[in-house]
Amino acid sequence: MLDYKGMFLSVLTNPSNYDRVCQVYESALQRLLRCPKEEVEAPTGIIALLRYVCDVRHDVIKEFGECMSNVEKIFLPKCQKGCTHPEILTSSGKDNLNMSCVLVHCSTICLDRQISECGDDIRLENIYSLLSGATMLLGVESSLRNNVPTEEMMFAYNNIPRKCKKMMDDSERMLDLAANNVIFEVLADKKIAVISHCDEGQAQGPAVYGNEAENLIVSEKIALAKNVNEDDEPFIVFNLDTVVKKYFEFKALLPRVHPFYAVKCNNDPVLMKVLSLLGTGFDCASKAEIDEVVLPQLANPDDIIYANPCKTKSFITHAFKRGVNRMTFDHEEELIKIAGVHDNPEMILRIAVSDKTAQCPLNLKFGCDPETQAPQLIEKAWKMGLRLVGISFHVGSGCNDPTAYKIAIAFAKDLFEYGNAIGHQMKILDLGGGFPGDFRSKTSFATIAAVIQPALDLYFPEEMGVRIIAEPGRYFAAAPATVTANVIAVNKVAASRITQHEEDSTVDGYMYFLNDGLYGSFNSILFDHQSSFGVPLFKESDEIKHPTTIWGPTCDSLDQIEKVTYMPKLDEGDWIHYANMGAYTSAAASTFNGFQKPLTYYIISSGTWKMLNRHY
């Protein structure tokens, strides 16, 4: 019998126990889920799973226990009452369905006991029963998939409350994510570049590698293959594992918030497909973006928000034809325009609450004053017979001051009360975007979430029934993508030309020209206020570094990637690698001067690939 409680607590209290516990948990998962060993190797998501399950609210736990009691009455006439731990590991010889039922019964008792002992205060020391309950319910669903269901079985399954099914789905995804260790396969149904047999210098695929890969390592393999083939074109490596991990991080830290991915940030179809499989909605800002979501059926119209406060009239008509009703506004003229061309709009009022330190402040252009203008617009919508369903805001892209979210949420609560008092049915709170996405951000997503979550609990407690959404873009897109460009020319100059210091006139400096630049992937330097820092491939860290300027390939002197940096001596044909290049980069890239956009190489681990294909 496994001591779940002791096992998980030992990880939480002493990280050095992690590897040992992983081995035990691997064996347990293999037997629990009755799946091949290669699908549960070396789980890496235990801590994230624990943190997520800890956040499950009391009402969900109670519903979970109640619905499982109903299942128990149907399936378990022979099960011994009063057992305190799952008995599956000693139930050899039973089929999947029977073992699942035993587990469901036992976990129900654990859950009921925890509720009676802890009430609303669900602590880490009680995590084992929550984890058991969530895991055991997976077995029931698996059995329903793999066996011919009886009428009684389907009745029991269909009567599981929606909240419990959601907990089951998220827990299953977490468990599958924990199996993530083998790198990498590709999305075989996409026409994308892949890497295979890199150590032989070939560029063909697909392939599976035996350990988890990082973008830098993969980029080196691709660069070597390109060198063999005399191919010097720049390329992007897009790590889909990072996307999946960030999704689960988002749900773990903000469990009440449903992410609507901001398509404008990066409309890569593979990225959007993965996010769709994970269950995100989409924030669209134009007719074309709506079609990018609707036509490939990435989301239902109810999971799309047309979040552009100033819309082209024909685009509003197009949204209506596509069934997209939910849209933002921030001034009276927009209300009038929408009312004239859309028969069933669901209006969301955007207010201006800004983080002045944000990477890209937005409230100069969008948002109404929450104290003076917003009440007037709420009244105007009511008089026009338009449905106002919620409030939105955007503190600015790349937020550095999390308190801006709390201020905005407080304003939104006041406006919810005002709108409901007038007669509107306010049901949606849109937190906008601004969430940091790369690993160098001054303010982490966890820090921001630690401000948002208690603010939501204070101003919008769950019993209000408000749907809370957000519009993360760079959060999902920035970190997964890296750009590697080729040095196409080298110009040796006096270092003073680079540093602007006369004393450097006798020192060698170098200007390197790459085949990607500000008119391509690095447009984010201009449009997104991004700083890019390159790392030369295949260079030792202790090599002498020289004053360096990095230029793009076009004839425009504005095309400068790094003004002053320090790098080892490079030669024509060398490669420079840039991290965190997925947000507001390729989406705005052009082919100015005839330079083409880089090819993208998508990588994904075997565990994540199987999880996406098995469950979605």
* Closest-CA residue to 234 (of 247, 220, 223): 223
| Overall number of domains in the chain | 4
pLDDT in tens, 363-413: 678 999 999 999 999 999 999 999 999 999 998 765 678 888 999 999 999
Percent helix, strand and coil across the chain, each to the nearest 5: 45, 15, 35
247: left (phi over 0), alpha (psi -120 to 50) or beta: alpha
Both 379 and 327 in one domain: the answer is yes
Q: In sequence order, what are the beta bridge partners of 467?
A: 428
Output the pLDDT for position 336: 96
Model confidence, pTM: 0.68
d(CA 15, CA 21): 10
d(CA 245, CA 290): 26
Helix 46-54 × helix 4-13 angle, to 10° = 100
Mark which of 133, 160, 179 sits at the end of a domain: 179
d(CA 611, CA 181): 12
Domain holding 523: CATH number?
2.40.37.10
Mark which of 433, 457, 477 sits at the end of a domain: 477
> Would you call 553 helix, strand, or coil by DSSP?
coil
Both 25 and 151 in one domain: the answer is yes
d(CA 91, CA 315): 60
Pairing outcome for strands 481-494 and 467-470? unpaired
* Closest-CA residue to 351 (of 372, 380, 379, 334): 372
The encoded tokens of residue 610 equal 């199987």
d(CA 519, CA 200): 34
What's phi and psi for 482, nearest 5 deg?
-130, 150
The encoded tokens of residue 547 equal 């004053």
d(CA 224, CA 486): 12
Both 465 and 590 in one domain: the answer is no
Strand stretches in 412-542, DSSP E: 428-430, 467-470, 481-494, 508-514, 534-536
d(CA 32, CA 132): 10
Contacting residues for 376 by C-beta, under 8 A, at least 6 apart: none
Query: Alpha carbon of 358 to those of 255, 444, 522, 532: distances in Å?
Result: 24, 13, 20, 18
Mark which of 431, 447, 477 sits at the end of a domain: 477
Contacting residues for 491 by C-beta, under 8 A, at least 6 apart: 510, 511, 512, 513
Both 259 and 390 in one domain: the answer is yes
Helix 269-278 × helix 240-253 angle, to 10° = 40
Both 472 and 491 in one domain: the answer is no
d(CA 142, CA 140): 5
Both 128 and 220 in one domain: the answer is no
Contacting residues for 402 by C-beta, under 8 A, at least 6 apart: 443, 447, 448, 450, 451, 452
Output the pLDDT for position 172: 44
Strand stretches in 313-425, DSSP E: 326-329, 346-351, 387-393
Both 154 and 139 in one domain: the answer is yes
d(CA 21, CA 352): 49
The encoded tokens of residue 420 equal 């409901």
Tell me if 48 sits within 8 A of 12, measured CB to CB.
no
- Give the CB-side neighbour count of residue 346, counting CA atoms within 13 A: 19
Residue type (1 letter), 416: F
Residue type (1 letter), 422: I
**Domain range for 458:** 241-477
d(CA 163, CA 357): 38
pLDDT in tens, 513-539: 999 999 999 988 887 777 889 999 999
Both 255 and 305 in one domain: the answer is yes
* Closest-CA residue to 264 (of 241, 287, 243): 287
d(CA 241, CA 247): 10
Q: Catalytic residue at 79? A: no
Both 143 and 221 in one domain: the answer is no
> Would you call 226 helix, strand, or coil by DSSP?
helix
Tell me if 122 sits within 8 A of 56, measured CB to CB.
yes
Cβ neighbours around 285 below 10 Å, total: 20
d(CA 370, CA 55): 32
The encoded tokens of residue 515 equal 């085949």
How many residues are present in the chain?
616
Output the pLDDT for position 397: 65
Instruction: Give the DSSP letter string of 554-592.
Output: SS-TT-EEEEEEEEE---TT-EEEE-S--SSSGGG---G
Q: In sequence order, what are the beta bridge partners of 547?
A: 566
Which DSSP category does 449 fall into? H
Both 189 and 41 in one domain: the answer is no
Residues of the chain with pLDDT under 70: 1-213, 354-363, 397-399, 439-441, 606-607, 610, 613-616
d(CA 203, CA 498): 38
Output the pLDDT for position 188: 30
* Closest-CA residue to 605 (of 194, 241, 221): 241
Both 419 and 498 in one domain: the answer is no
Q: Kindly name the residue from 22, 265, 360, 555 that is annotated as catalytic.
A: 555
Output the pLDDT for position 221: 84
Which DSSP category does 596 fall into? P
Both 272 and 315 in one domain: the answer is yes
